[in-house]
Structure 1
Amino acid sequence: MSYVYSIIVTICRKLETVIKKSLFFNIIRTIFLFFENLLLNSYILKLYPQKEKIKIKSKILNEDLLSPPVVILVFSLFLICGISAVTSSLVITIIIGFVSFLLGALILPKFFLNNIDPEDKNGKNKFISFKTEDIYAIGFVLFIVAVIFFCINIGYVKGIPLLKPSLRYQLKAALTMPVFLIIPAIAIIESVYIKYYQENKLTRRAVRFRFLIITGIGIVILLFLAYRTPILALILLMIIIGYYGKVISLIEIITLGLIGVIGIIGIGYMRSLNEMMISKSTNPFYTLQYRADFTMHVLDKINFLSGDFGIMHGGFILKALPGSDYGPRMMVGYLISWRDGVTITPTLIGGMLIDFGKLGVAAGMGLLGFILGIGYKLLKISQDYVYIGIYAILLTYTILGVETGILDVQVLFYFAVGAIIYIANMVYSVKSNNQI
């Protein structure tokens, strides 16, 4: 695995060097640094308070607000948004999922990584660390690739899907998937900014400014393609990384969260108006309620079809692989309505149900909880920028997966990479302990 990592880093470092030597990049960089210096030293920006004036004395709010159990809170709120009641069988399935997730997130991690000491001078009981230059190069190249494919998409459909919604259905998955690399790219770059802040290479004000700029660029790119869920992903990433990197205050987190929710409702409302699915007199919150209600209705059907042991036994998750005749969400549409070409989101536990039923929900949610739990423990122990970034990506996609499910191949890849890094740390921790 280290050999693969070395190859990736070598390629990214060389591409970064080539790009940074180009005239176009240096012009953009000079303009950015000019405005950054101008704004950071402006009188207006200095009026904005950098620290909270009101301190809330709560360990949960100040340290554990975005710990793994937040997934259960979000899932519960999603259930509340639904208008119709669900069957008792689905209630039992959801309870099984919740309990398994909490066991995996809160109990199992207690048995691992107990001997890691970041302050150990001998370096025996430390976590696995990465070179900042290598990590930044990966994020930088992913960002450039995403921007290039964004331009390719705009040229391919000959317009901006946000301004002309019909163009969105002309986008090709093979061309749009690389654009979504902007999400992990921004997470990596923001994490590196946290590292610079920890080393006093960047001020807190500068980090916050760069967070806003790079997240704003990502939002504009995804907004132009008329996607809304990835936009929420970028906002969540900024919140989680900023929270654990100690550059975003609690009040700002609440504000950003509200902006994200309002933005998603607004984009959904405007899209529904443009596609004539609702009228102007319709309550904007109706689109959110309808979406939650429809998704839970779908989950109810999936729960009925899958029973205790599922119906596809691993075949459903394989539909995420490129080249499959049906994608996972299209397969959901086929299973519950026997129609081709319909994509339907099955929630976080829908895929687990289809493959292995209630048993799959128990195992799948337990495993998901453990991955997030061990990642959170490693983050808290190390306070390292890499583990802040990894945890932010995994938690973000889990929260979004409450409705959409974790079914996209690139998202599954992120979880696989995160799990491998966490397992490597656990093995490293055991070996270090045996050497003492």
Structure 2
Amino acid sequence: MSSFYSIITYLSKNIQEIFRRSLLFTIIFNIGKFIEKQWTNSYFIGLYPNENFLSFFKRNNIIKNHIFHPIVVILVFAIFLILSINSISVDLQISLVIAFIAFIIGSVVIPKYFFKNTEKNSFIRLKRDDVYSIGFCLILVGIIFFFLSVASVGGIPLLQPSLRYGLIPILTMPVFLMIPGIGLLGAAYLDKFKKGKLSRSQVRFRFLVLIILSSIFLLLLGYRTPIIAVLLMMIMIGYYGKVLAVWEVVIGALIGVGIIIGIGYFRSVEEFAITTNTSPFYTLQSRADFTLHVLNLLNYISGNFGIEHGALTLSAIPGSTDLGPRMMIGKLIAWRSEVTVTPTLIGPMLVDFGKFGVAIGMGLLGFILGIGYKILQKTKDSFYIAIYALLLTYAILGVETGILDIQVIVYFLLGFLLYLANILNVKKNKSVN
């Protein structure tokens, strides 16, 4: 593991150094520094409300410190269920109860037995320069594959929506690597802020630039969910890094929900799916209702031990099958392999291993997030904040879409291995002492 990490950091540092020496990047960074200086010294910055604005939010301990506790996944899932217009079957209710209990045990109960009386220095620490260089290279890879994706379809999907259906997954998937990339860059900037090398205004400006930069590329490809992932992840990093005020997080979340509702509503009106007389909330309700209808069918055909026995999850690997996971879901419930269907967070677990798979899968997911949250609370380390923010973001988005993209599965696998390495490292240190 350490040798693999050494190779990655060695390569990423060399690539970063090559690009930083280039004339193009020198110009870009100099322009960025100039704009940053003008931004941080701007008169209008002083007109913006300070941290104590709407201070009543800070009086609540949960809002102040625990908005993004792992249990938020269950709360989002519950809201998703409430949005549904139609009721769900009794058997699916049993599956959901199993899922919720397993997740709570994994995220709340089991982590209590780890890292008792553990000092901050006992955890694995990564160098800021290593984190920055890896993040820089991930963004660079994402940008390169963005242009390859655009070239492969002969245009920009945002301007010509029909081109999106011609995008090649093996070219578009690397584009999404810029999401963890900006998270790691954000962690590096946050570490500089904590050590007094950057002001709060500077790090906020850099966070904003990272969000805008990545959102532009993702939007041009015609994707919306990755943009939400970027916003949510950076909000979490800013929240736990004390870069964002509590009121900014709360209001930002409300605005985000409003944007999601608004985009869905106007898109539905333009596509004549609804009329202007229909409630904007109907778009959320109908989407939740359809997805839960899919989950009802999956629960019915899966039974206690599933029907695919791992084949669905393995189909996320590029080239392993002609159909991706969501197309396999479409074929299972409608015999139509040309459509993609979102199966919710527990849908893939049901299809592969039934209710037994739900218990194990949700318990494991809860454990990964629970241990990650505990390490974050113990260390306050910028890197662990970014890793936890990335994983929790995809868990929340997975409430509807499921965790089926290969890069997301890899994120959780790497997160699990990192947290496991910390558990073993802490245990080793205690045995030595």
Q: Structure 2 CA distance, aligned partners of 1:142 and 1:181?
A: 6
Q: Is the 8 A contact 2:299 2:350 kept in 1?
A: yes
Q: Which residue pairs with 2:189 in the alignment?
A: 193
Aligned equivalent of 2:432: 435
Q: Which residue of 2 aligns with 1:93?
A: 95
Moved more, 94-103 or 259-268: 259-268
Q: CA deviation at 1:339?
A: 1.4
Alignment of 1:387-426 (within 5 A): 387-426=384-423
Q: 2:66 matched to which residue of 1?
A: 64
CA distance in 2: counterparts of 1:352 and 1:100, whole angstroms? 13
Residues 368-389 of structure 1: CA deviation (Å, up to 9, x unaligned) = 1011000000000000011101
Counterpart CA distance in 2 for 1:295 and 1:205 is 42
Report how far residue 279 of structure 1 moved: 4.5
Say which of 163, 175, 180 aligns to 2:176. 180
Query: Where do 5+ consecutive residues of structure 2 fail to align?
Result: none
Equivalent residues in 2 for 1:28-427 (5 A)?
28-53=28-53, 54-55=55-56, 56-118=58-120, 126-323=122-319, 324-427=321-424
Give SS of 1:51's match: coil
Q: Secondary structure at the match of 2:123?
A: coil
Partner of 1:4: 4
2:209, 2:315 → 1: CA distance?
A: 36
CA distance in 1, matches of 2:26, 2:275: 48
The residue type paired with residue 77 of structure 1 is I
User: One-letter code of the match for 1:129?
Assistant: R
CA RMSD of aligned residues (A): 1.4
**Which one-letter code corresponds to 1:130 in the other structure?**
L
SS in 1 for 2:50: coil
Deviation string 1:86-112 (CA, Å, 9 cap, x unpaired) is 111111111110011001100101111
Deviation readout 1:366-411 (Å, 9 max, x if unpaired):
1110110000000000000111011001100000000000111100
Q: Deviations over 1:309-335 (max 9, x none)?
A: 111112221111111222111110011
How far the C-alpha of 1:152 sits from its partner, in A, is 2.4
Q: Contact 1:298 / 1:346 at 8 angstroms: preserved in 2?
A: yes
Secondary structure of 2:309's aligned partner: coil
Q: Which piece of structure 1 moves more, 258-267 or 160-169?
A: 258-267
Amino acid aligned to 1:154: V
Counterparts of 2:268 and 2:159, CA distance in 1:
14
Amino acid at match of 2:20: K
Q: Is the 8 A contact 2:107 2:369 kept in 1?
A: yes
CA spacing shift, 1:87–1:69, aligned 2, 3 Å: same
Matched residue count: 430
1:115: how far off?
A: 3.9
After the TM superposition, which of the residue ranges 11-20 and 356-365 deviates more from structure 2?
A: 356-365
Does the aligned pair in 2 maintain the 1:302–1:336 contact within 8 Å? Answer: yes
CA distance in 1 between counterparts of 2:52 and 2:144 reads: 39
Letter in 1 for 2:216: V
Superposition deviation, residue 273 in structure 1: 4.6
Shift of 1:259: 2.5
Partner SS state of residue 59, structure 2: coil
The answer as to whether partners of 2:123 and 2:425 remain within 8 angstroms in 1 is: yes
Q: Decide which moves more: 313-322 or 268-277.
A: 268-277
| Partner deviation per Cα, 1:39-90 (whole Å, 9 max, x = no partner) | 1101011211331231432221111110100001100111111111111111
Give the superposition deviation at 1:281.
4.8
Q: Is the 8 A contact 2:51 2:246 kept in 1?
A: no
CA distance in 1, matches of 2:161, 2:73: 32
CA contact under 8 A between 2:153 and 2:163: conserved in structure 1?
Answer: yes
Is the 2:304–2:356 Cα contact (8 Å) retained in structure 1? yes
Residue 151 (structure 1) shift: 2.2
- CA deviations 1:248-293 (Å, max 9, x no partner) are 1111112221232222233334444555544555443322221111
Q: Please say if residues 170 and 318 of structure 2, whose CA atoms lie closer than 8 Å, have aligned partners that are also in contact.
A: no
Alpha-carbon distance in 1 for matches of 2:34, 2:199: 16
Please list the CA deviations of residues 346-377 of structure 1 after superposition, one character each: whole Å capped at 9, or x if unmatched.
00000110111111111111111011000000
CA distance in 2 between counterparts of 1:272 and 1:139 reads 37
Equivalent residue of 1:7, what SS? helix
DSSP-derived class of the 1:256 partner:
helix
Extract structure 1 runs of 4+ deviating beyond 6 A: none
> CA contact under 8 A between 1:115 and 1:433: conserved in structure 2?
no
Name the CA distance, whole Å, in 1 between partners of 2:50 and 2:366: 34
- The one-letter code sitting in structure 1 at the alignment partner of 2:347 is G
Letter aligned with residue 341 of structure 1: E
Specify the SS of the correspondent of 2:204.
helix
Q: In 2, distance between residues paired with 1:347 and 1:137?
A: 35
